[in-house]
Amino acid sequence: MMHPDFFETDRHSIQLGAGAALLGGFAKDIGQDLIRHIHDLSAHTPFRHMETRGGKRMSVAMLNCGQFGWISDRSGYRYTALNPLTGKAWSALPPLFLDLATRAADVVGFRDFLPDACLINRYQPGARLSLHQDMDEQDRTAPIVSVSLGLPAIFLWGGTQRTVRPVRHQVFHGDVAVWGGTSRMIFHGIDALKNGYHPAAGHFRFNLTFRKTR
Ligand code: SIN
Ligand code: FE2
């Protein structure tokens, strides 16, 4: 259950559906720290544009931290314990990341969320993520927690069928979306990023998505 007083204490938050909400500004006060961690992580594991199964270069650049990392290549999408480029484990989830993910999930009614993967997306102007379901995780009882940082974007929130026309929600630096329960398999995506400048992120939008993969 969503905390009953939540929508009274934060007017910028909206319920997206059952077990799904967009928490306006939830991570804003730690936004700069989160971006600093992203830069530290990317010094160790550079962002890269992976290939889709069909051989297309993704417009979004990605890197992973946590016990498992999400990868895409000619053999498809999956989570791995080792970075295929280095043969080494992914960097650990920073405690600040873990704490944020657990707190956000809790607000939407998912207690003790313990993600084992964090995919970090980096969007430059024009980059987009087409409508998809997050379906590479074995544990579908856990929610997805998604943190927006830097430039604003349009978050597309569809239905359980790809044909449902998505609702467009603008997401800003520090907004956190959580979806689980009967909303866990909703199609979602990000519209092509508009050019802009953000004081903490420059010409980029970053997104952290926390998942429990197994
Ligand atoms: C995702 O669907 O994995 C990320 C969505 C986003 O960048 O906000
Ligand atoms: Fe997704």
Task: Determine if ligand 1 sits within 6 Å of the CB of residue 147.
Answer: no
Task: Determine if ligand 1 sits within 6 Å of the CB of residue 190.
Answer: yes
Strand duo 20-23 + 69-73: pairing: unpaired
Q: How confident is the model at residue 79 (pLDDT cuts 50, 70, 90)?
A: very high
162 is in an annotated binding site: yes
Q: Which ligand is nearest to the CA of 153?
A: 1
Cβ partners under 8 Å of residue 61, min gap 6: 47, 48, 49, 121, 122, 124, 127
* Mutational pocket test of ligand 1: of 183, 209, 211, the residue with most ligand atoms within 8 Å of the beta carbon: 209
Cβ partners under 8 Å of residue 113, min gap 6: 101, 102, 105, 106, 142, 143, 145, 210, 212
Atom of ligand 1 nearest to the CA of 121: 7
Cα separations in angstroms, 118 against 68, 91, 160, 170: 8, 10, 24, 22
Measured distance CA(162)–CA(130) in Å, rounded: 11
Task: For ligand 1, atom 7, name the residue with the nearest CA.
Answer: 207
Query: How do residues 104-148 score in pLDDT, each as one tens digit?
Result: 999 999 999 999 999 999 999 999 999 999 999 999 999 999 999
Indicate whether 10 pLDDT > 80. no
Range from 1-15, 49-63, 100-114 carrying the lowest mean pLDDT: 1-15
Structure token digits, residue 194: 């508009």
Query: How do residues 183-207 score in pLDDT, each as one tens digit?
Result: 999 999 999 999 999 999 999 999 9
Range from 6-15, 27-36, 40-49, 152-161 carrying the lowest mean pLDDT: 6-15
Q: Cα(129) to centroid of ligand 1, in Å?
A: 7
Task: For ligand 1, atom 8, name the residue with the nearest CA.
Answer: 207
Task: For ligand 1, atom 2, name the residue with the nearest CA.
Answer: 189
* Mutational pocket test of ligand 1: of 190, 204, 205, the residue with most ligand atoms within 8 Å of the beta carbon: 190
Task: Determine if ligand 1 sits within 6 Å of the CB of residue 121.
Answer: yes
- What's the CATH architecture for 30-142+185-211? Sandwich (2.60)
188 is in an annotated binding site: yes
Q: Judge contact between 98 and 112, C-beta under 8 A.
A: no
Domain-by-domain residue ranges, the chain?
A: 30-142+185-211
- The alpha carbon torsion through 132, 138, 141, 147 (nearest 10 deg) reads -50
Task: For ligand 1, atom 3, name the residue with the nearest CA.
Answer: 209
Question: Residue 210, Cβ neighbours under 10 Å: how many?
Answer: 28
Share of the chain above pLDDT 90, in %: 94
